[in-house]
Structure 1
Amino acid sequence: MLIWEFSAQDLALTRFSHSPLAELSNSVQVLKEPGEHAVHLRWVREVRPRIDWAAYGLLSALVRVPNVYVPEFLTPVATAWEPTLDEELAQLVATSAEQVRVDVDRITAPLAPEVAALRADPAAGLNRLAAEVRAYWEAALAPYWTRIRRLVEGEILRRAQQMSTGGPAALFADLHPRVSWADGSLRIAHRWFTGERTLDGGRGLVLVPSVFAWPGVYSQTNPPYQPGLVYPPRGVATLWERPSSAPDGLVGVLGRTRAQLLTELGAPASTTELATRLGLSAPNLSHHLSALTAAGLVARHRTGRLVLYLRTGLAETWIGQS
């Protein structure tokens, strides 16, 4: 059990971020150990034929299974809301030789030859790692990144709504089965780690939704890195699914098209995504979304230039009773 003690300043600075590099590191573990990550099996089946681990020797050696520790320079907790992969790779190759060795020395198992070479010559090793990461990204994550981002954006919208109505207690209440909040402290029931920590100097905690973290939860506690908690977003089980059937009771009230549309909005989606999934024209989809929004069953949220739709609490209740 890890216990994190919060000050008022820490709580005020708690925020969200999404790290492409941390997502990538978690996805390597999923590919290596798919039986532990059943919701991603469709993705595994598509991606595994593209991956030859011999081409990613250093990346593979750093993300071992079973996974107890991955060096923090490969699993960053970003201070920006959503850094690009290029930004994170620039940060990776700029890691000091001293910090690389500190992180590598936290690995308790004997070092693989590739990792030992990284420790001996951090600059050369980090450049090799960055090249492997970029190649792996293009093969394994780039084709799916828009879908992943949408789910994470929806997660953050949902959590913001929770916090606005119920405060921090509501934010942490159902974050993950192994996470709980009480008396100003966050408790994370880790299998391999126990201890008590005070958040470092009022820097706050960064919450990092990661689809490939499922079903686990990971924490970042080692200085000088930003404290962070990596957890799977709600709706991750729907990420690779094809459209599901709407409940008969819902169809009877709303009609098949609107019932199906509401069923699809368990995770936020754009009109383009919804039209593709359901085979609807843009005007037809817009007509149904407008009706559901007017009925209080769908909410509309803008994130940058994109508009996302998701079910409201009322719709969740309807579907739960259908």
Structure 2
Amino acid sequence: MIRYRFGQDDVLRTRFAIAPLMELIGAFYVLRRPERYVVHRRWLKWAASRVGDLDLTLLDAAAPFGGPYWPVFVSPPPREPHATIEAELSRVRETPPERVLAEITHRYPDRLPAAARPFAGDPAGALGELVEQMRALWDAVLGPRWVTISALLESEIASRARSLAALGSRAAFADLHPSVSWEAGCLSVRPTSKSATDVNLAGRGLLLIPSAFTWPTVWPRIDPPWDPALVYPPTGIGDIWEPADTDHGALKSLIGCRRARILQELDRPAATLELAARMRVSAGGISDHLSVLRRAGLVTRRREGRRVVYARTLTGDALCRPST
């Protein structure tokens, strides 16, 4: 059991984040042990054929399934509330080679398996290849579904943050997960692979990370360089891959032909100029329609460097996505 002990300021300093690399590792676990993850059966059916030709041997060595420890450099603690996969993979690539070697040997103290030996022989080179494998996996099975996944996670964060602010810690933590309980300033997680541990938050607060692919368990994080964190499956995870039967004619009648076309084009997130080029219309007109769709909760926007990228929300997905 792990007990997170809250002091006077720790509830106020509890915060949320979305961790793309945590989803990547979780999705890799689901692909390796499909029988354990019935919630993701539809996603697995779609994803399995997309990974058959990928070389993921270094990722398999660096993110082993099970065991008391797996290397932290593969999925470092998030620094932003909603980081991009590009930024997170850059952080992995920048890991010092000596840390890569230290964490790999910590995971395999007796003998390195063949797949892990490149990390000992050439840590920097193996790290670069590992990042390429992670990027290939993301592009194959997570990137095309990230709008759906992140919309669910954003909805979870908004709902739980409102409960925390309006109703207090007991309400916010009560239904976090069946293995998690709150009592008298202490958040308990049971059982875990770790021995009984008390973690005094000491003013640091707790980092809560909703994750689609951690289902059906929670992942407590207490080892450096992590501050105390808990990765948990969001509410509504059981419906994430449910298809929606869509009549695009009805959609056009509902929101208009141009807005329906924009929503359909956002199957791939895009900036205003990209959408205008795809549709061969003016950027100003696209921008006006995007503003309406955003106010209606059908699209979201985020900044990536100098670009503002638009993507469908879960509601927008439900309106557009046909049965699969």
Give, in angstroms, the shift of residue 73 of structure 1. Answer: 1.4
Matched letter for residue 10 of structure 2: D
1:2 corresponding residue in structure 2: 2
1:65 corresponding residue in structure 2: 65
| Deviation per residue, 1:222-256 (Å, 9 max, x gap) | 11223221111111111111249xxxxxxxxxxxx
User: Contact conserved, 1:11 with 1:204, CA < 8 A, in 2?
Assistant: yes
Matched letter for residue 228 of structure 2: P
User: Contact conserved, 2:7 with 2:201, CA < 8 A, in 1?
Assistant: no
Matched letter for residue 57 of structure 2: G
* Cα distance in structure 2, aligned partners of 1:191 and 1:279: 51
* Cα distance in structure 2, aligned partners of 1:192 and 1:309: 34
C-alpha spacing 1:309/1:63, structure 2 compared with 1 (3 Å)? closer
Matched letter for residue 172 of structure 2: L
Q: Where do 5+ consecutive residues of structure 2 fail to align?
A: 257-295, 303-309, 316-324
* Cα distance in structure 1, aligned partners of 2:103 and 2:9: 28
Residue 281 of structure 1 pairs with residue 282 of structure 2:
no
| Deviation per residue, 1:26-46 (Å, 9 max, x gap) | 000000101110011111111
Give, in angstroms, the shift of residue 4 of structure 1. Answer: 1.6
Q: What TM-score, normalized to structure 1?
A: 0.74
Q: Match of 1:10, SS?
A: coil
Give, in angstroms, the shift of residue 185 of structure 1. Answer: 1.6
Residue 146 of structure 1 pairs with residue 116 of structure 2:
no
2:275 corresponding residue in structure 1: none
Alignment of 1:180-199 (within 5 A): 180-199=181-200
User: Contact conserved, 1:10 with 1:199, CA < 8 A, in 2?
Assistant: no
- Alpha-carbon RMSD across the aligned residues, in angstroms, is 2.8
* Cα distance in structure 2, aligned partners of 1:105 and 1:202: 33
Q: Match of 2:3, SS?
A: strand
Paired-residue identity, %: 34
Alignment of 1:108-257 (within 5 A): 110-199=111-200, 202-243=203-244
* Cα distance in structure 1, aligned partners of 2:240 and 2:66: 24
Q: Match of 2:107, SS?
A: coil
Matched letter for residue 101 of structure 2: R
Matched residue pairs, number? 267
Q: Match of 1:176, SS?
A: coil
Q: Where do 5+ consecutive residues of structure 1 fail to align?
A: 245-275, 287-299, 311-322
* Cα distance in structure 2, aligned partners of 1:174 and 1:83: 26
1:270 corresponding residue in structure 2: none
Matched letter for residue 34 of structure 1: P
* Cα distance in structure 2, aligned partners of 1:27 and 1:57: 15
Q: Match of 2:90, SS?
A: helix
Give, in angstroms, the shift of residue 121 of structure 1. Answer: 3.0
C-alpha spacing 1:12/1:210, structure 2 compared with 1 (3 Å)? same
* Cα distance in structure 2, aligned partners of 1:277 and 1:105: 55
Matched letter for residue 234 of structure 1: T
